[in-house]
Amino acid sequence: MNVRTASEQNTREYAFSPRDFECVKKLIYARAGIALAENRQEMVYTRLSRRLRATGSRGFDDYLERLERDGQDAEWESFVNALTTNLTSFFREEHHFPILANLVKKRQPGQTMKLWCSAASTGEEPYSMAMTMIETFESLKPPVRILATDIDTDVLATAREGVYSLDKLDSMTPERVRRFFMKGKNDTAGYARVRQEVRDLVTFRQLNLLDPKWPMRGPFDAIFCRNVMIYFDKPTQYRILQKFVPLLDSDGLLFMGHSEVFQHAADLIKLIDRTVYKPVVK
C-alpha cells in the first residue's frame, strides 16, 4: 500500500485522504468498470488535481460530491478521460496481424470484412489493422470496414486527426512509413499524418464497454480488445465477453492482450493461438 506521512501530505496542493481515494475507486468502477489498485493513489491524485484546478473546486470533497450529486454532469467525461490509461503503439503485439490477415484471406470474394477495435485509444491500433488490410488485399480500397471505439473522447479526437510524432513510427519498417504516412514540413516538421486512404477505412465512435446496450450490429470477423480487460475485475470481464461473443461471426476471432487470462470464461471463448480466442460453439 502507498502510505504517505503527514509532512508529505502537506506538500500537496490539495488534501487527498484514503476516503477520497475510495470514493474515486467507487465512482470510476461504477462508470467505466475500472478497478483501481491501491498502488494507483499517486496517479489518481496527479491526474484529478488538474480537474480540480480546471473546475475551480475547493478540494477533493467538493469535486467528488459534485460528481456524486449529478450523474449527468458534463465533468463526468473529463473525470473518466483523466483516469483512463492509453498505452498503445503501431503494430503492438505484432504476432496478431498475420493471424488477422490469414483470417480475411479465407473469406468469400466480394464479401465485406467487418472489424472492431474496441479500445482504439489514440488510433495506432485501428490504423495498424487498416494497413494490414491494405497489404493483404494489395489495394488501397480493400473490402473492409473498421469500427474503432473508446470511452475517452480526448484520445478519439487525436485518433481522428491521425497525426503522430515521428518517434511513434519507429516500430514500423521504412517501407510502411513511406507507404502509409505523409511527413510534415516547416511548421509540422517532426510529425507525420496517416494517409487519407488509410483513415477512410476507419470510423471512430465513443463507446463505454459498460453501456447496457451497444449500438453496433454484428457479425464481426474480428474484434480487438487488447490490454483493456486488465482494468476490470473478473465479473465485469465476463459480462463484456458475454456481449462480444454474439457479435462475432461463427468463425470470427477475438484478439486479447498478452497479460490477460480468461479461464473464468471457458464456457464463452476458447484459446486457439497466442492470446487469440474463438467463441465456444454450443
Which 8-state DSSP code applies to residue 143?
Answer: S
Residues 113, 146: Cα–Cα separation, whole Å: 8
Instruction: Determine whether 238 is exposed, middle or buried from the number of CB atoms within 10 Å of its CB (0-12, 13-18, 19+).
Output: middle
Strands 269-273 and 220-225: unpaired
The b/e string for 79-117 (b: 16+ C-beta within 10 A; e otherwise) is bbbbbbebebbbbbbeebbebbeebbeeeeeeeebbbbb
pLDDT of residue 6: 45
pLDDT of residue 10: 53
List per-residue pLDDT tens for the chain, 282 residues long: 344 444 444 577 889 999 999 999 999 888 888 888 888 889 889 889 989 999 999 999 999 998 888 766 788 888 888 887 777 889 999 999 999 999 998 887 778 999 999 999 999 999 999 999 999 999 999 999 999 999 989 899 999 999 999 999 988 999 999 999 999 888 889 999 999 999 999 999 999 999 989 999 889 999 999 988 888 889 999 999 999 999 999 899 999 988 788 999 999 999 999 999 999 986
Q: What is the layout of strands, in order, in the sheet containing 181-183?
A: 163-165, 191-194, 181-183
pLDDT of residue 31: 83
Q: Which three cell numbers stand for residue 17?
A: 485522504
Nearest residue to 162 (alpha-carbon basis) of 92, 90, 113: 90
Which active-site residues does the annotation give?
47, 150
Residues 48, 93: Cα–Cα separation, whole Å: 31
